[in-house]
Every structure is written in C-alpha cells, then in structure tokens.
Amino acid sequence: MNMIVTPASPATPNGTNSMPNGTTRPQVRIVIVGHVDHGKSTLVGRLLHETGSLPDGKLEMLKAVSARRGMPFEWSFLLDALQTERDQGITIDTTQIRFRTNSRDIVLIDAPGHAEFLRNMITGASQADGAVLIIDALEGVRDQTRRHGYLLHLLGVKQVAVVVNKMDRVDFSADRFKAISDEISAHLNGLGVTPTAVIPISARDGDGVAERTDRIDWYKGPTVVEALDRLEPARPLEALALRLPVQAIYKFDDRRIVAGRIESGSLIAGDEIVIMPAGKIAKIKTVENWPVTPVATRQGAGRSVGITLDRELFIERGDIISHVNVAPRETRRLRARIFWLHDKPLAKGDQILVRSGPKESRATVVAIEKAVDPGELESRENKAIGRNHVGEIDISLSSSIAADPYTENPRTGRLVIEVSGRIAGGGLVLSVDAGQRAVPVDIVPVESALRPDERSARYRHNGAVVWLTGLPASGKSTLAKALERRLFTNGGSPILLDGDTVRAGLNSDLGFSAADRSENIRRLAEVATHLARNGHIAIVAAVSPAREDRATARRIADSSFREIHVATPAEICEERDPKGHYKKARAGALASFTGIGNDYERPEAAELVIDTSTRTVADAADEIEQMLKTTGVLFDEVVDLAANI
Amino acid sequence: MDHLDQLEAQSIYIFREAFARLKKIALLWSLGKDSNVMIWLARKAFFGRLPFPALHVDTGKKFPEMYRFRDHYGKEWELDLRVEPCPPIDAVDPTLPPAARSAARKTEGLKMALTKYGFDGLIAGIRRDEEATRAKERVFSPRGLEGNWDVRDQPPEFWDHFNASPPQGAHLRIHPILHWTEADIWAYTKRENIPIIPLYLSQNGKRYRSLGDQDITNPVASTASNIDEILIELEQTKVPERAGRALDHETEDAFERLRVAGYL
C-alpha cells in the first residue's frame, strides 16, 4: 500500500506504532461490511480523502477517470483503480489500507469478493478490532446486513459502528434514520453486540464522514472519523498470558531446542514454565537464535523462537508452553462455534481432524447444538451444519489437548477442522470442558535420589521397556515370564507389566473402544517408562494391536524402547486359546476381540520377531537376551549372582 | 518488534510448519535476491543449518556471476546442493512464445527433479507483489500430479492453518516469503548483511531488478549502486519489478499459462 498513502510506520503486535518522536499511537484494525452497493467503496474513498491519506495527484486522476467515462465524480473509482493496479501487478498489497485519524492509526482490512465472502471475512475480519456496518438509507436493513452482523458476532468483533449511508436519497429524513437505527440496533443487541454509534451519512457528498453538515444538523452523535477515533485497540497480545505452542523439537547439535511462535505473552531465560497438557514443569535455560546466540532480551508475542530447558522432558509438537500459574486447560472436550465450508454437511457422529495451532487431534462430533444460515438467522436444525452455514458443536477429542476459550486468548482459542486432508471449516473455542488436571501448578516431578549409573552398577543393565506385542495367545505372557525369571536370576531388576493385570487395576476405567485402547497403551507406556528411567527392565506383554498406539509408546519411552513382535501364526494362537477368548469370540460373546477380526497391525520395524510355534521358550528367551545385549541394555559379562548365594 | 521482525517471524513459522508436516522437502535456489533471503530465513528457523536439500534447477543459461555465487555460497553455507539440468528446448510446448518457451524448460527440469527425488514439498521464493497470478497464491499451494496448479480450486487457508496433505504422488509448493515485498527483501538483505550478486547494482546506468536466464532477462535503467539507493529507487519508481523479464510481456496470458503448468 506504500503507493497510495503516506508511509505508515511499522506496526507492532501490541497495537501501537512507534512514532519518530518516541511516542506511540494506538493501531486499530477495522473491517467495512454491508450489503452490495450500499456504498462500501465510496465510504473508503471518502475516508482516505478526508483523512489526507491520498497521495498527490490521486484526486486529479480520479476526476479524469470520471470525466472520461462521462460520469459525475465517483469515489468508488479509487478502490477500483487500486484493484486494476493490483491486477497489473504494480501496486503492493491492497488487502490492507492504512490511514490516520487524530489519535489512531487505522488499518482497513479489505475483504472483497462476494462468492468467497465467508472465507475472506474469516481470514481478514477475524483479525479486526472493530467493524463498520454500512446500510443504504433507502433500502434499509437487508438479509445481507443481518448476515454480516451475525458474522461479526461469530468472530467476536464487539465494536461495531453502524453507518446509514445515502441519506441524500431520503432527503436527510430524521424519521427514516431513526427507523433504520432502531431496527439494526435491536438486531445487533439480540446478538449481544451494542453498536458504538449509528451515524447518518452521505459518503459521496461527505455529510457525517468527517463533518456534521447542515443537512444533518438534527444529528448529535459522532462522525465516522470520530467514531473510528474512539475504537479501542485489541487487547495487546503481549499483555496476555504466555502461550508458546510447540512446532518442533530440534536436535541438530548438542542443544535440544524447543521451537515455536509465541502467540501471546512473553518469555525470557530463567522463567519457570509448564508444558501442557502433561503439566510438566521446567525452567527456560536459554533462548537460542542464529547467527548470534543465546538471546538475553525478553521475547514477546509474534516472535518465532527456540528455547532450551533445564531438564530433559518428553515434549511433542502441539504441546503448549506457558507460565506456571496461568496455564491453559487440559481437556478432551470442547465446545466451538464454527463456520462450515465443505460440500458435505458436518453431522453429529462425524469423525473429524481438529487442528488447534500445531496440535492435531482426531475427534468426534458429539452434538450439533445450533445450525444457522447466517442470512436467515433461524436455527434450522440440530443434526448437521450445511455449507456456508454456522453452528455450535460439542467435540470429543481422542487425546488431551491444551486449549483456551477465545474470549481469554484469541490466538489459542481458534481451531480448524480438516476433512480428507483439506481444511473444511474452522472457528472459535467457546468453552473448554476442563479435565481433572485443570490447575497444573502443583505438579513438580520429583527426581530420584539415585543416579542412573548407581542403579546400572548394581543391576548390570540399563533401564529399558521391552514391549511384547502380538495376537492373543501368541505366547507373550509366557515369554515375558521366562524373561523376567532369566533377568532376575542374573541379578537384574525386571518387572512384568501384563496388559490384563494392569487393566484389572490402574486401567479398570477403560473399555475396548479405539480411544480407550489408545489410552490403555499410553498409561502402560508411561508406567513402564517410569520404571525404565529408574533402572528397571519393564517387560510389557500387551496385544497392542494399533501401530499408532505402539508408536506413541515408543515416543514416550524414547531410546529405552525395544519392541518384540511375537509373530505366532493366527491359527496356532486360536488352537492354543488358553483363556478361551477365541472360543467366546467365535460364539459372538466377546465384542472387540483382536484376533478374529483383522485389526491387528503387524509391526514394521520391531527390534526382534519371534514365532513361538517353532521353538522352545528357553530358546526364545535366549534370543531376547542376546538382543538386549547387542542393543546396549544388558552388559556384556552377565554375572550369575544368584548362583553365588 | 518492527516490520522486518514480523515478516521474519512469520516466514520462520512457515518453514517450521513445512519441515514438520511434510516428509521430503527441498528448497528451490534460483540464486536471486529472494531465494538468498529465503535460505537465510531457513537458517534462522533451523538454527544455522538447512536440514533439507537446496535444489538448483539449472537451465545452463544463467549469468557467470550467478554460477560463481552458487559455487561459493553453496560451500560456505554448507548446503546439500543438488544441481539438476533441464531438458533441451525441443522438449517444451512449441505453441508458447519464444521467451516463455525458453523459461518453460525450467518447469520440465523441475518435474524431472521431482520424479528423481520424490519430494512432496518444494519451497519456493515467490512473492505476492511480483506478479498478478502470484498474488493469488496460497502459502501451502497444492500441485496436481503433473505439477499443475488449479487456480480455481485452491483450499481455504485460515489464519496460519495450512493444508499440508498432498494427494498421493502430488506435491505442495510452500511459499515462506509470499507476504514480503521487493522493498522488504532489500531492507532485510541490508539489515542482515546477506550477500548479493553484483548484477543487482548499477553499472553504466543499468542494473538488474530481477535475475533470470541471460537470453530472456534485461537490465533496467538505474543509478542505484548500493542497497540504500535501491530502496530509494523503489519508493519512486513506477516500473514493475519484472519489466526486464521478456516472458512477461510476450502475450497477456503467457505467464499464467506457465504457472498453471507448474512454473514458479
């Protein structure tokens, strides 16, 4: 936009612009919406002119253009001219037009294109602090006017100045103005939006734009420019609580850098932080950068940063880092207000993919609480949300996420919904049904009194998670017990975690749905990893049919993970059937039983594959022991301590 | 945080998203001012290194200064540089006008490199302000199996949520500096002290605004002999950046045809 307005000083995310003399001016972003032909372009042209924002020669150019077409002077040609310039690739970015009032820098967000209005409204106006809603005095409030009012409400834009344009067409009638003013005010109030002003204007002639002319002498309120002057800048993002969604963890050298963009708040080395949703606590050791590192100054909202922590924690993409006493909530349940763009309506029970920042989570639509065509504003049904309609939905997530309602944080309170790898809709988080760990303040992992090498000196091995996966009755538990005995005999510290045993206690709240099975595996992995960190060899025997769940377990246990696929052929497993499960399942008495169905996903890269149908248990245990030696879990010379007792 | 800080932070965010969400990516290095800034930004994003290859699709017709630059900084920046050739002119759509046809070799070279390495993402240094069809681009822009771009069916991009699942066998173009302007590129090059090819600076009253193949790129009249002077010139000039690119001026839709077919 540098071509048409005085060069604006660079914007800062906290809503102020630095001035040459060191003072700052608030920056306010507004969007102008309204029915087609109600005078949007004319008002924009007028505003640029009245605020002295047009470059030299532009006015003359517009006069010439108008004269050439044999038309009276037309302000809307200003935007049209910009459009043409953009089409020719000359002008720089006209999607944001900057101008100044007495006390504000205004960024006008241009959202052209009727067909894609909803998309543009969301992408552009979602960043607006305020809006101007324009109504033609002759035509009055139309469907489109109401639709736009609703969209502002949807996006959480609370400051709306209404202008009633083309007052010259109704002879500047105060009665006509009042009728429209009452109607639109009632409509907006019904949505929970109070207009900051309702202003009678003639954009073409300038009445009410920057000046109160004689023709509207009955009007006592602010002009458009005055109304813009009174808009409040958005609450500065930097003033909100710290939110650093993790994009990635990099280990290019000896640093383990957690990378992401600060969406709100600020941070500096030394800060105590909590990583949500897990609630783990650490301190920021350094803020890393390039080419000069580390960075000593405080880093605020908008910065893409990299930090290192004072301890090794399992962190993954999508986690949110915040300060300890103001963390986001951990949840598996959200209510959201969304807009839907996909051809196929969004219905109750649909499986969707939800993206909240870098976090990706599978989810189910539990309920459609409202479905509205924003043009008609009547709640039509509550089964599905059609294309270009809006609605409120209740979603259940397959894994925990950290989230904020948008009223508390506009950046982390956003989400989009993906269908078949493509964004199909998106919206705002209305409320977060907090999990049991809403307040993570008191979670400070306590470290062991012992050093890992003290334990390994005693046990003659390092901690590990030995994960046996395979069909029911493939021989996992038998093998696990043999291995446990073997390691113990050699002086080690093996601990058996059998899937069924854990399900009888710790995991007794879980069923056999896909989500519950994932959670079962996650908990098994967490417990096993804790044991491994404390020097034990946790031997897990669990069917764990889903590849993704085992991948989660591997991520949790990290380098201590050893996967053994007990690959006994299915027919032999069924023949053995020591617990009678196959028999029951064949009789239809055991739902969700892995083995009869085809839902077992074989490992692709297990550390070891063992078929128990072709060898003895002792032989198989030998091979596992060998693998544990070659992969650095067991030390070379195994001392048979028990033999010496 | 000033304007350049904001642009930088946004580009870094895009780089990290591309690296996290795609399996096999490469950065297209054309040796020009934009792609040099892009490499710099990537090194900021990844703390000093480029964790994926830099791909130079070489028409063999660049300026000698450009090849010298490539060989020098490819080493100094420790790039995993892959130089890929383009097919002969006969292999290119004969209905295109001469300069566009010459440029289209690059598209073919690009397709060959894609097949050879199986990249699912290509990072490209195009900017919205360069040219009208580029203005319509998405940050993560899907390409068809033939590398083609369907301008009428682009997925929505909301806030900073990008579509990053290319269909099987297809790829994405990622545009981390789409939101930069020509002036931003120069201001940042100066601030960060990023090396440039001297052809951009005025000699004998002329300089290159944009660098392409020797046979289809011309210098513009200019006295700007350092970056400060370039910035002043850009504030005053009405000459579009690609004025010296012959292919942009042959027919009205030549560039659009090229881009739909997969040109950058």
Q: A445: cis peptide before it, omega within 30°? A: no
Q: What is the pLDDT of residue B135?
A: 64
* Contact check, Cβ <8 Å, B17/A423: no
For A249, the closest chain B residue by CA position comes to B20
CA distance B62 to B211: 8
Q: What is the pLDDT of residue A27?
A: 72
User: Over chain B, what is the mean pLDDT?
Assistant: 87
Ranges in chain B, pLDDT < 70: 131-133, 135-136, 151-153, 238, 248-254
For residue B3, give the nearest of A11, A88, A289 by CB distance.
A11
CA distance A114 to A424: 19
CB B159 within 8 A of CB B209: no
Contacts of A304 in chain B (CB under 8 A): 8-10, 12-13, 16, 45
CB-CB neighbours of A170 under 10 Å: 18
Distance from CA of A70 to the nearest CA of B (A): 28
Quick one: tokens of A99? 């101008």
Which of A58, A92, A105, A119 to substitute to test the interface with B, most B CBs within 10 Å?
A92
* Contact check, Cβ <8 Å, B161/A11: no
CA distance B86 to B262: 14
Cα–Cα nearest to A48, from A106, A87, A2: A106
């417990």: which residue's tokens?
A: A527
Percent of chain A with pLDDT over 90: 40
Q: What is the pLDDT of residue A23?
A: 43
CB proximity B81 to A under 8 Å: no
CB proximity B239 to A under 8 Å: no
Quick one: tokens of A337? 């207000």
Q: Give residue A535's Cα distance to chain centre.
A: 37
């077919």: which residue's tokens?
A: B261
Q: Where are the alpha helices (DSSP H) in B118-239?
A: 132-135, 182-192, 227-236
Report helix angle A476-489 to A617-630, nearest 10.
Answer: 60
Contacts of B163 in chain A (CB under 8 A): 418, 421-423
Q: What is the ipTM of this complex?
A: 0.92
* Dihedral sign from CA coordinates of B136, B141, B147, B152: negative
Going by DSSP bridges, is the β-strand pair A304-309/A280-288 parallel, antiparallel, or unpaired?
antiparallel
Decide if pLDDT at A539 tops 90: yes
Q: Which tops the pLDDT comparison, A24 or B81?
A: B81
State mean pLDDT over A427-447.
63
User: Over chain A, what is the mean pLDDT?
Assistant: 82
Going by DSSP bridges, is the β-strand pair A105-109/A96-100 parallel, antiparallel, or unpaired?
antiparallel
For A453-483, the pLDDT digits (tens) are: 788 888 989 999 999 999 988 999 999 999 9
CA distance A476 to A594: 14
Cα–Cα nearest to A145, from A193, A75, A96: A193
User: How distant, in Å, are the alpha carbons of A362, A524, B24 from that of A396?
Assistant: 9, 23, 32
CA distance A219 to A233: 27
Instruction: Label residue A269 by pLDDT band (50, 70, 90).
Output: very high
Q: What is the pLDDT of residue A112?
A: 52
For A470-527, the pLDDT digits (tens) are: 998 899 999 999 999 999 998 899 999 988 888 888 888 888 888 888 899 999 999 9
Q: A291: cis peptide before it, omega within 30°? A: yes
